[in-house]
Amino acid sequence: MSKKTPVAVYPGSFDPLHLGHVDIVRRALTIFPNVVVAVLENTDKLPLFSPAQRVELIRDTFAGMSGVEATSFSGLLVDFMRQRQARIILRGMRAVSDFEYEFQIALMNRRLWVEAEHVFLTPNEEYTYLSSRVIREVWRLGGDVTGLVPEPVNRALKRLPR
Ligand code: PNS
């Protein structure tokens, strides 16, 4: 495998995908020709959407945009990366509060696989307060998340029983 891979993997829970995530993918596409959005098949007991639904919503959101692929993975991220012959791990960094957690997982991933390289991008400032957790909470309490999530996600949320 060439060490210069044009594929960046953007891993996360994406439950749900919000406009901050979309902004990160758009920015990444100005650097990397291919971005794989990789949904962790975690065991969260109260997810809004199943991993398969999240992948579908990501596909719908980026439909027509070339260079974006959505898939899911389980187990260690670095194993998925090796499988995909990709070594760039893309993550968003919204504020200093994200730093400690991101630094910890970056160092752990590098320990697990020395070729793993993290690239951090900052979203537009209008999205710095967005997180999937906050979106879930606002939605569960009856709030309107229009303008905070992509349209396919907003439509899916409107169909979901609260
Ligand atoms: O959106 P999130 O929940 O902050 O994403 C976290 C994610 C998916 C990037 C991280 O939990 C992950 O990579 N999990 C896979 C398991 C793994 O590889 N763990 C070791 C590094 S912490």
Q: What are phi and psi of 36, to 5 degrees?
A: -105, 115
What local confidence, expressed as pLDDT, does residue 83 receive? 96
What local confidence, expressed as pLDDT, does residue 5 receive? 67
In this prediction, residues 126-152 reach a mean pLDDT of: 97
C-alpha 47/C-alpha 41 separation (Å) is 11
How far is CA 34 from each of CA 13, 93, 103, rounded to the nearest angstrom?
A: 20, 20, 24
User: pLDDT digit string (tens) for 105-129?
Assistant: 999 999 999 999 999 999 999 999 9
If you take atom 4 of ligand 1, which residue's CA is the nearest one? 12
What local confidence, expressed as pLDDT, does residue 110 receive? 98
Q: How far is the CA of 52 from the centre of ligand 1 (A)?
A: 17
Six token digits for residue 104: 């910890």
Burial zone of 16 (CB within 10 Å; 0-12 exposed, 13-18 middle, 19+ buried): buried
Spatial CA neighbour of 56 closest among 72, 40, 41, 43:
72
DSSP assignment letter at 46:
S
If you take atom 12 of ligand 1, which residue's CA is the nearest one? 77
Q: How far is the CA of 77 from the centre of ligand 1 (A)?
A: 7
Per the CB < 8 A criterion, the answer to whether 94 and 123 are in contact is yes
